[in-house]
Structure formats: C-alpha cells, structure tokens
C-alpha cells in the first residue's frame, strides 16, 4: 500500500512515544508488524492514516496505521483501567476486608508461626511486606522476628491508618509504611525476605501474585527468601447435593406449578461461575484430591501464570452423585535453615483443616452423573487469565467418566467458568 508523503516531523528531542493498541500484520515491506503493547517512537506525522515510526525494541522503521496505536499517556490510563486499580485498592481502603482477614485465626496464626520458627533467620534482616494492609505481618517481623528494617508497602488509603497503628505499637523506628503500588516504589536497599498474603479465590484470583513477583525481581537479594515460598492448588471431584437442590432442583416444581423452563436459566446464573465460600465436607469428596498447580515463588515467572493446564485422572473412592469439582490451596513458608526436628509451617484451606475465610471453591456442572467405586473421572482443566481484565480468570474444565470394566468411547463434556469476567 502506498502511504502518503510525510507531512510533518519532530525535533529529535521531542519525538513522541506511541503504543500499539492492537496487533497488526504488515501488508508490505514499507509497513511494520507489531503486537499489542509494542512501543514506537513517532518520527513523522505522515498523514491522518499512517505514521512513520521506529520500533523501540528492534530499531526497525516503517509505517504504522494510526487507528492501531495510542498515546503513551492514554495507554497508561487504559492499563490502570484493565487492572481496575481504583476498585481493587478502594476495597482494601476500608476495614471490612481487613476485619475478615484478621479474624481468620488459621491464616494469621500461620504467618505468626512462620516468623517464630524463622526468628533466627530474620534477626537483623531487611523485610519487604507487599500489600501490608493493617501491618500485622510487618509488625510480626519487627517484634517477633527482630528484623532490622521492614518496608510495609500498601497502595490503598489504609496505609495512612497503618502508619498510626505502627506508631501506637512503638515500631516506627523499624517499620516504614509506604503508600504506593509496589510497581512505583523505590527502596534504598535490597531485602532478605519478601512476605505477602496474596492468595485469592482459586489461589490466583485478583492476580496480586504478579505484583509480588515484580517485587521479587526488583528488590530481593540473591539467595533471599519468599514467604510463602511455595503454593499448591488442589482439585477434587465431589458431590454437592444441598447446593444442587437449592439452586437447581428447586425450579422443577413450586406450589404445584411446573417451573422447569427456568432450569436452564438457573444453570447459567447460579452455576456459570464458581461458588466461593463453599464449605466442603471431606465426605463429599469422591476421590483423593490432586495438586493441579504448583508454584515455586523463587522461580515462577509472570508468563507462567498466563495459562495453566493440568490433565487429571481421578479414581472414584466412594459411589455417589458427581455434581462438580471443589478446590482449595496450600502454601508453605520455607527457604531457610530449620531448627533441628522442626518442619516448615504450612497454611492449608482444605476441608480437613480449620476453616479459613477462603473456605473452598465449588465448580458445579450442568448435569449430574452417578459414579461408582473404581470408576475414573478423567479430563483436563485450563486456568487462563483474561487478556483485558488482568485480575480475572477463565477456568475451562473438560471431563468424562470411564466406567469400570466398560470398554469403548465415552461422552466428553466441557464447561467454562468465569472469575468473574
């Protein structure tokens, strides 16, 4: 395609930066191909349709279509919107969520026990608390762990109140509260430990983990420690008769009238997303749980959590109605030399442990399947980040039941669940 003759140019020192708003495949060798997010230096404002640009990464020059790029300022605004930071940090600026977390004894006690166990390691060390909230983990590290310095980073308005709490407890000489997003923080030194409570629904939801990894790559010393140091997400097929009865079977008949035309709508509205805060009983598990995601916080990369895939085969241990899958997670606080005879502290949100504010997550299928002992529930689960709404996920579950002693093809099913967009 013949582009218009350049009509305007810029002084070398004032070349604007533009960002690709979408992918583009060049039609000829006068144009540049690029991916969404690529950056260019705008060399010449060639026409209202085409700009002559230089790719910042490769140095290549060519024409780019104007309707595929945006200004750096607008890109940054849209980036913030995609992360929903105002909504996200706004929620953590109020006490409701912090009350829920502090009331969660298994959660908070696990962090305290980790600090107590690692006190020898923490003594005189430098700590970074990412998303410190009310500052409880920072104060654990300072008072119980005797850390020399704790940088308590909190992006929400809660940071103002956290600073008061720190002063009230006489720890302002060692705990420094910083009200910034971790991506915007500059620290005067590297740290020995990064501590954070980043886990959410299905372990990953809200993707605070990405900020923790950014902190690790920028601030953690060589050989430094991450708490949690490891995280595992578990999945198990289960029965959920009470949920099925109250959300789906309910519509079959009411007051002598047939409400069954609403069943399909109920499946969509009640079972189209996972049911969080579900309280799973061990007796409802049809098989042994399997770890479908395992993260080593010292090595995992941001790109590793864009899409996670796991193929499973569950051997049914007890007969029953297969209504769906339940999930929970476990994290460990390792990475340092243990005192003799001790084990690393773990925090598990599973049904065999004390209930936490996360409880368990339930993924209800649209159809009920009866399973017998020694049947196999096989399939695959894919957890994928929303490419636009970066704190959100889509979970795709494929499954089929392989009957004991029956050979041949079996019907295969698939369902998508949104968390939450």
Residues with a catalytic annotation lie at 197, 206
Count of other CB atoms within 10 angstroms of residue 179: 16
Residues 6+ apart with CB under 8 A from 365: 271, 322, 323, 324, 325, 397, 399, 413, 415
What is the distance between the alpha carbons of residues 54 and 364, in angstroms, rounded to a whole number?
50
Q: Quickly list DSSP for 345-383.
A: EEEE-STTS---TT-EEEEEEEEEEEE-TT-EEEEEEEE
What is the distance between the alpha carbons of residues 165 and 143, in angstroms, rounded to a whole number?
14
Q: Are 193 and 138 in contact (CB under 8 A)?
A: no
Give whole-number Cα distances, 299 to 92, 96, 216, in Å: 28, 34, 10
Q: Quickly list DSSP for 74-114.
A: HHHHHHHHHHTHHHHHHHTTSHHHHHHHHH-HHHHHHHHHH
And the tokens for 124?
A: 């005189």
Q: Phi, psi at residue 95, to the nearest 5°?
A: -75, -15
DSSP reduced 3-state for 200:
strand
And the tokens for 87?
A: 């909504």
Q: Phi, psi at residue 273, to the nearest 5°?
A: -130, 155
């Amino acid at each position: 395609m013949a582009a218009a003759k350049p009509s305007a140019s810029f002084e070398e020192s004032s070349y604007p930066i533009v960002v690709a708003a979408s992918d583009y495949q060049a039609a000829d060798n006068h144009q540049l191909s690029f991916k969404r997010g690529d950056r260019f230096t705008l060399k010449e404002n060639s026409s209202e349709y085409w700009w002559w640009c230089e790719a910042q990464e490769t140095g290549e020059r060519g024409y780019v279509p104007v309707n595929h790029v945006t200004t750096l300022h607008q890109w940054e605004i849209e980036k913030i919107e995609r992360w929903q930071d105002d909504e996200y940090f706004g929620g953590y600026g109020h006490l409701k969520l912090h009350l829920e977390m502090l009331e969660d004894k298994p959660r908070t006690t696990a962090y305290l026990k980790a600090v107590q166990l690692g006190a020898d390691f923490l003594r005189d060390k430098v700590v970074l608390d990412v998303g410190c909230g009310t500052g409880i983990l920072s104060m654990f590290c300072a008072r119980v762990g005797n850390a020399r310095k704790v940088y308590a980073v909190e992006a929400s308005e809660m940071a103002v109140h956290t600073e008061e709490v720190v002063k009230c407890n006489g720890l302002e000489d060692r705990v420094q509260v910083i009200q910034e997003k971790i991506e915007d923080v500059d620290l005067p030194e590297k740290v020995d430990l990064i501590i954070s409570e980043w886990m959410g629904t299905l372990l990953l939801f809200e993707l605070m983990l990405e900020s923790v990894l950014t902190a690790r790559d920028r601030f953690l010393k060589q050989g430094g420690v991450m708490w949690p140091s490891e995280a595992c997400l578990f999945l198990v097929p289960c029965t959920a008769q009470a949920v099925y009865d109250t959300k789906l079977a309910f519509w079959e008949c009411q007051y002598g009238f047939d409400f069954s035309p609403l069943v399909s709508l109920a499946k969509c509205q009640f079972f189209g997303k996972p049911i969080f805060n579900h309280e799973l009983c061990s007796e409802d598990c049809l098989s042994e749980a399997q770890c479908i995601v395992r993260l080593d916080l010292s090595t995992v990369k941001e790109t590793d959590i864009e899409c996670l895939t796991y193929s499973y085969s569950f051997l049914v241990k007890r007969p029953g109605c297969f209504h769906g899958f339940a999930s929970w997670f476990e994290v460990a606080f390792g990475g340092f030399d243990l005192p003799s005879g001790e084990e690393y502290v773990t925090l598990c949100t599973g049904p065999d442990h004390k209930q936490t504010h996360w409880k368990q997550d339930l993924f209800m299928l649209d159809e009920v399947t009866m399973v017998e002992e020694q049947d196999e529930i096989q399939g695959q689960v894919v957890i994928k980040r929303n490419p636009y709404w970066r704190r959100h996920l889509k979970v795709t579950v494929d499954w089929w039941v392989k009957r004991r002693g029956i050979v041949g093809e079996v019907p295969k099913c698939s369902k998508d669940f949104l968390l939450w967009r």
